[in-house]
Amino acid sequence: MPSFSRLHKIAIISLGAVGGGLAYYQFNNNDKNQRKFGVHNSWTTNYTPSVKWDSNWDHREPEALVRPLKGNKPEAENEYNEKLEKAKGKAVRHLFLIRHGQYFVDGATDKERTLTDLGKQQADMTGRRLACLDIKWDLLVRSTMTRAQETATLIAKHLPADLEVVNCSLIEEGAPIPPEPPVGHWRPEPKQFFQDGARIEAGFRRYFHRAPPDQARDSYTLLVCHANVIRYFVCRVLQFPPEAWLRIALNHGSITWISILPNGNVVLRSLSDTGFMEPKYITSR
């Protein structure tokens, strides 16, 4: 005869299954709940995405670069297809977004907001990590702000001496767009969003795009910049609502890796990776 405990377990499982079934039936037959929670069955066949992917987000879709076909002549169609094929990219653009190390936030000017001793250690560890990836780096772009410049210099010590380094003011820290939901303790003047947003968006358009058709091999670019800039870039390139940028947290010296495929699709391979640091070195503020 089964023990009480076993029967008890069976009863609980059975009631749980029935209860779950009833809950499922009630939940999926209640239009009010569906509207409230936006529930969709995973097997729904007529599902329509709330936001469709824009394949021409960087305005480099081959169909957008080649003049439309005119006429139905086979010769014209062949010529159009040839041009279309030549306009297709073949390589992947890899972008590594590095947040600067911890810095003195109380500095009155940018020059006084230098890296702390811990921030220097974080930058050094990030440089070591990037060197371990055994990647042939093509370019290192660094923000012109002091903390980013220092971080990039410490990182570069671990990378090939002939790596091209470029300074860029477009990726300086700023307020890219009013966040949603708002944050009570952080409310820049509207004009700051107007000014910074245009600049940071210009930085996005400069560095985020698929590889040109004549690029034969994959490229690897390092961008050493700031939390607000990186968070905004991530939202933009993934086609998430850009005002959601403040919902993302980034650690100092962290690595965010984004790949832009030849067809324009985007892959976020890592976000705020600091797994190569011991916990005692990890900070975000």
Out of 28-32, 44-48, 59-63, 131-135, least confident range: 28-32
Task: Please state, for a pLDDT cut of 70, what percent of the chain lies above it.
Answer: 84
Range of the domain at 216: 93-281
Give the whole-angstrom CA distance, residue 229 versus residue 140.
16
First to last CA, the chain: 63
Same structural domain, 231 and 104: yes
Per-residue pLDDT at 1? 45
Residue 210 pLDDT grade (very low, low, confident, very high; cuts 50, 70, 90): very high
- Domain membership of residue 25 (yes or no) is no
Residue where a domain terminates, one of 88, 115, 144: 88
pLDDT, one tens digit per residue, over 229-282 is 999 999 999 999 999 999 999 999 999 999 999 999 999 999 999 999 999 999
Same structural domain, 51 and 192: no
pLDDT, one tens digit per residue, over 38-66 is 555 655 667 777 889 999 999 999 988 88
H or E stretch covering 165: strand 165-168
How do 165-168 and 139-143 pair as beta strands?
parallel
The helix/strand/coil state of 195 is helix
What are the distances in angstroms from CA 280 to CA 76, 274, 275, 284? 65, 11, 12, 12
- Domain membership of residue 27 (yes or no) is no
Residue where a domain terminates, one of 48, 69, 88: 88
Residue where a domain terminates, one of 88, 116, 150: 88
Same structural domain, 174 and 48: no
Cα 130 off chain centre by = 18
The domain that contains 271 carries what CATH number? Answer: 3.40.50.1240
Same structural domain, 82 and 103: no
